[in-house]
């Protein structure tokens, strides 16, 4: 039980930098009239064990976990969900029956817009070899997509990821040949900064029957999504996944679901200034 008058939540990472999680979760507490507060806690890798002790001693009710602590906390909890074990990373800490659990809500966040879409293509190409790509593959397996391919500029990473999940790898130089269904960008290409304006796919490789899903959410419309839309493909912006993973976190902590329209508008105003 918490020793604080408000229920205490927060996010840990290093360097933590700017994060939208406090904005969204604190808005959620206010929306539902809950006595909760969500804080940002920069925690260096050598202090993760101390922080986890504080979670137990202070009665911190929920924690978002970001880079580089997603693997480190796995050995410091009482239980790990199947999703988190499959991905090999924990991004959420929550309590159940007096025990501290680790979950990976990136998987739920990834599949949420695809479930809304309804008719998910039968093949999927996931670009990347890191944690976001692993969450995407885990989500696609949950959805029952029969043909899943992974491609990465470092071929060994794609092979390792494909082996771990029992899917197939595709050569990076031939990735355009696998773009007939769903294509997921789980690389930094297109992200605001040095990678802005870059696309992970060759021009014209996506057609009208394809779906382009970019896990990059800033800018809102990346070069990858612009090219896909111009080719007639359907597009899914990365903000959908970010919001979806936060919805699942909030549900684990409170049993309540953040309203989509208002929550997405809040994030849109914060990121793009226009509620996109």
For residues 51-71, average pLDDT:
96
Task: Work out the burial of residue 95: count CB atoms within 10 Å of its CB; fewer than 13 is exposed, 13-18 middle, 19 or more buried.
Answer: middle
> pLDDT band at 275, cuts 50/70/90?
very low
Looking at every residue in the chain, the average pLDDT score rounds to: 95
pLDDT tens sequence across 193-242: 999 999 999 988 998 989 999 999 999 999 999 999 999 999 999 999 99
DSSP codes joined into one string, 234-273: EEE-THHHHHHHHHHHHHHHHS----HHHHHHHHHHHHHS
Q: Which strand ranges, in their side-by-side order, compose the sheet holding 234-236?
A: 168-169, 147-151, 123-127, 182-185, 211-214, 234-236
Q: Is 70 tagged catalytic? A: yes
Task: Work out the burial of residue 30: count CB atoms within 10 Å of its CB; fewer than 13 is exposed, 13-18 middle, 19 or more buried.
Answer: exposed
For residues 53-60, average pLDDT:
96
Count the neighbouring beta carbons within 10 Å of the beta carbon of residue 175.
Answer: 21
Region label for 41, one of left (φ > 0), alpha (ψ between -120 and 50) or beta (otherwise): beta
What the chain holds in terms of domains, given with CATH numbers, is 7-104+242-272 (3.40.50.10860), 108-237 (3.40.50.720)
Asked if the model's pLDDT at residue 170 lies above 80, the reply is yes
pTM listed for this prediction: 0.93
Asked if the model's pLDDT at residue 2 lies above 60, the reply is no
What is the distance of C-alpha 193 from the center of its chain? 20
> pLDDT band at 171, cuts 50/70/90?
very high
Which residue is catalytic, options 70, 99, 174, 226? 70
The reported pLDDT for the residue numbered 6 is: 79
pLDDT tens sequence across 115-141: 998 889 999 999 999 999 999 999 999
CA dihedral (263, 102, 255, 25) in degrees, to 10, reads: -30
């Amino acid at each position: 039980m918490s020793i604080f008058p408000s229920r205490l939540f927060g996010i840990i990472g290093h360097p933590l930098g700017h994060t939208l999680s406090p904005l969204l979760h604190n808005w959620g507490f206010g929306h539902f009239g809950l006595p909760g507060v969500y804080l940002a806690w920069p925690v260096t890798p050598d202090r993760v064990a101390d922080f986890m002790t504080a979670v137990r001693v202070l009665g911190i009710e929920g924690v978002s976990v970001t880079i580089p602590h997603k693997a480190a906390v796995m050995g410091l909890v009482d239980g790990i969900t199947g999703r988190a074990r499959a991905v090999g990373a924990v991004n959420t800490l929550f309590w159940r029956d007096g025990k501290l659990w680790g979950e990976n809500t990136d998987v739920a966040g990834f599949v949420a817009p695809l479930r809304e879409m309804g008719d998910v293509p039968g093949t999927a190409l996931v670009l990347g070899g890191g944690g976001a790509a692993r969450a995407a593959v885990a989500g696609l397996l949950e959805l029952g997509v029969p043909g899943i391919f992974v491609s990465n500029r470092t071929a060994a990473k794609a092979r390792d990821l494909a082996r771990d999940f029992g899917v197939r790898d595709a050569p990076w130089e031939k990735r355009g040949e696998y773009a007939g269904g769903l294509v997921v960008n789980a690389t930094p290409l297109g992200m605001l900064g040095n990678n802005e304006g870059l696309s992970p796919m060759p021009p014209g490789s996506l057609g009208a029957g394809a779906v382009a899903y970019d896990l990059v959410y800033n800018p809102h419309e990346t070069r990858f999504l612009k090219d896909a839309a111009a080719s007639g493909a359907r597009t899914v912006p990365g903000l959908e996944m970010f919001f979806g993973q936060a919805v699942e976190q909030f549900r684990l902590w409170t049993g309540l679901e953040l309203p989509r329209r208002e929550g997405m508008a809040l994030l849109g105003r914060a990121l793009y200034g226009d509620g996109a």
